[in-house]
A and B are shown apart, each in its own frame.
Chain A
Amino acid sequence: MLSPVWSFALARLVLALAVAVALGLLFGHVALWLVVVLGGALGWQFASLYRLQHWLRFRSQEDPPDLGGVWGDVVALVGRLYRSKKFHRRRTLVLLREFRRFAAVLPDGVVLLTVRHEIRWFNPAAARLLELRRKLDFGAPITNLVRDPALARYLECAGAGPGIVVRVQREGAERCLALALVEAGAWRLLLVRDVSRETALLEMRKDFIANASHELRSPLTVIAGYVEALQDEPDLDDEWRAPLADMRRQAERMRRIVEDLLELSRLEAGGEEASFDPVDMPALLEQLVRDAGSRRPDGPRLQTEISAGCGLLGNAPELQSIAANLLANALQYTPAGGTVTVRWSGDAGGACLAVADTGIGIAAQHLPRLTERFYRVDKGRSRDSGGSGLGLAIVRHAVQRHGGRLEIVSVEGQGSTFTVHFPARRLQQFCNNP
């Protein structure tokens, strides 16, 4: 199907050729007439092409040429294309100006980086927070100007993890800045936020918990001491025996909560990463299991499966606390006929500590919230069994500080498995299988 423009152009050509042939037949020299007519047509095409090219070159100054036929169509199409491009450019410019204005009033800093972390652009808030200077600092690596070693490390691993907080001195006061990297194609965006207030509040809360637990401990010791003394009194009325035993149990529970709170606040105050001291995990686990077994000889059956002889690089008391808390949980929720298994396995890619029990298990909806402080699966039962409600929160913190991951798998009525994965960089060098 030809468009009307083309049919018209073709018809015109055919007509011209027919006229040429007719004239040739009338006056002789058909070939000559054909050459003349075709030459004329070619000349007209050239003339149109010339005017089109001339207009395209100087189109901003001149009106479009008035050409007929297909050429006119081409002119109209080019004109439309040109107008829409001009419109787009204007729209882009307006958008860009809007964006700049918007970026200027943004309360958070934004720095545009190349993949090699050179500064390409930043907004005024970033300039203020990071002490950058427009123009002068474009092209410089950001680590030259924000020299906190944490940032260099963070950029090195391409912004893995939730971002970092750096402390900077501004006008004599210390400010905390949260930095987060966002990958944006060939670019990287560094987002900068002033979190001094939040950090101060968090610190206040931590201090409060640490101080409050510490202050609670001494009166508790006195109470527990007197209760114990009273229990040992030979001429005590028998009806007081049960209440006193209960008081002693509750005092013991409270002491454990306070201890756990203190441990938790110690973990939180200890910075992001645990130390890298060698810890002999197999020996630590064997010892723990032995102790637990001798404390509760009538409890569930205990077994250890140590399939890797390697130790870890970490903080010994924290690793001990991870294992002890997981083991205590397993023992608590497993009836006397059940089995609790402690597994230690590992290879070059990392190590695993798993504590599996055949206890009552945990329903799926509780799993995500299990490591929250004081989270109770079953409010009534847990209170009697005497846990502090902080054990798994401690485990989570300690695992995090070792760069590890806690995984919980559980089927209600069949048992649960708590697995802690440690990364390869926490492994001790000599990792051999026994």
Chain B
Amino acid sequence: MEAADLGQHISRRFNEDLERVRSRVLQMGGFVEQQLQLAITALAEGDSESGERIARDDYKVNQMEVAIDEECGRILATRQPTASDLRVMVAIIKTITDLERIGDEVEKVGFIAARLATMETPADHYRAIRHLGRLVTEMLHDALHAFARLDADQAIAVARRDRHVDLEYETIQRQQITFMMEDPRQIRRALEVMWVVRALERIGDHAKNIGEYTVYMVHGKDIRHLSLDAAEQQIRATAEERRG
């Protein structure tokens, strides 16, 4: 009786530890999400002050990553989780790395937004970039939601959307090349814009990675280098196995 109580007690404390660290990951994600939104707004509105502030605040993301990493190390050492708990830990450690990289990309966007603010705004007010930004922001948002809810289906849906981002990236690239050919004076700005677009595209990739870690966390399947259809099939098969 006592032993059972103790066992339950330990596992409950462990669960609390896991939940807390998961919450911290999501808070870090929330901060990165907000930074990303602000960076895109700063770019669209030509707000150099806001852009600089965003670039400066990247250190907070790095701090959060280090803190969560330490916490994970502590949990691994003291609780020695196995099976699904271990998968959660692994997924968390990988997720924060990707979040930190997203933070770096956002820093880049903020920095370039501050620089672009001093140049002339194009006639379309960066409509294409704002569209791409919205796609990427929604991807990151949904990836974090899937992570919070352990929702593998939504995670795969996020990974699928990366294709749209890639398409949009190519479109903007072609558009910028046209600008540069039409008017060589535009080359400088076009190059800066390409950096931003490239950063946004990378953020999409990182959001996709987070989705993949969520699938790994829930089903224990590594779907990283599979086509998404194959991944979905595999997951369905395991789900049925488990049910049968």
> Is B33 in contact with chain A by the CB < 8 A criterion?
yes
Chain A positions 131 through 144: 1 when the CB is less than 8 Å from some CB of chain B, otherwise 0: 10100110011011
Size of the A side of the interface (Cβ < 8 Å), in residues, is 16
Inter-chain contacts of A137 with B (CB < 8 A): 149
A122 CB to nearest B CB, Å: 15
Query: Looking at chain B's contact residues, is the secondary structure mostly helix, strand, loop, or mixed?
Result: helix
Contact A148 B34 (CB under 8 A): yes
> Is A383 in contact with chain B by the CB < 8 A criterion?
no
In the bound complex, how far is the Cα of B149 from the Cα of A131, in angstroms?
Answer: 12
> Is A167 in contact with chain B by the CB < 8 A criterion?
yes
Contact B137 A143 (CB under 8 A): no
Contact A167:B37 (CB < 8 A) given known A143-B23, A144-B22: yes
B17 CB to nearest A CB, Å: 14
Q: B residues 116-142 with Cβ under 8 Å of A?
A: 134, 137-138, 141
In the bound complex, how far is the Cα of B33 from the Cα of A140, in angstroms?
Answer: 20
> Is B177 in contact with chain A by the CB < 8 A criterion?
no
Contact B34 A144 (CB under 8 A): no
Contact A169 B134 (CB under 8 A): yes
In the bound complex, how far is the Cα of B130 from the Cα of A172, in angstroms?
Answer: 11
Contact for A152 among B22, B30, B134, B141, CB less than 8 A: B30
Contact A147 B29 (CB under 8 A): yes
What bracket does the count of chain B residues touching chain A fall in? 20 to 34
> Is A368 in contact with chain B by the CB < 8 A criterion?
no
> Is B27 in contact with chain A by the CB < 8 A criterion?
yes
Contact for B148 among A144, A148, A167, A172, CB less than 8 A: A144
> Is A15 in contact with chain B by the CB < 8 A criterion?
no
In the bound complex, how far is the Cα of B141 from the Cα of A167, in angstroms?
Answer: 13
A24 CB to nearest B CB, Å: 59
> Is B102 in contact with chain A by the CB < 8 A criterion?
no
Contact B31 A149 (CB under 8 A): yes
Residues of B at the A interface (CB closer than 8 Å) are: 19, 22-23, 26-27, 29-31, 33-34, 37, 134, 137-138, 141, 144-145, 148-149, 151
Residues of A at the B interface (CB closer than 8 Å) are: 131, 133, 136-137, 140-141, 143-145, 147-149, 152, 167, 169, 172
Which 5 interchain pairs have the tightest Cβ spacing?
A147-B30, A144-B148, A144-B26, A149-B31, A141-B23
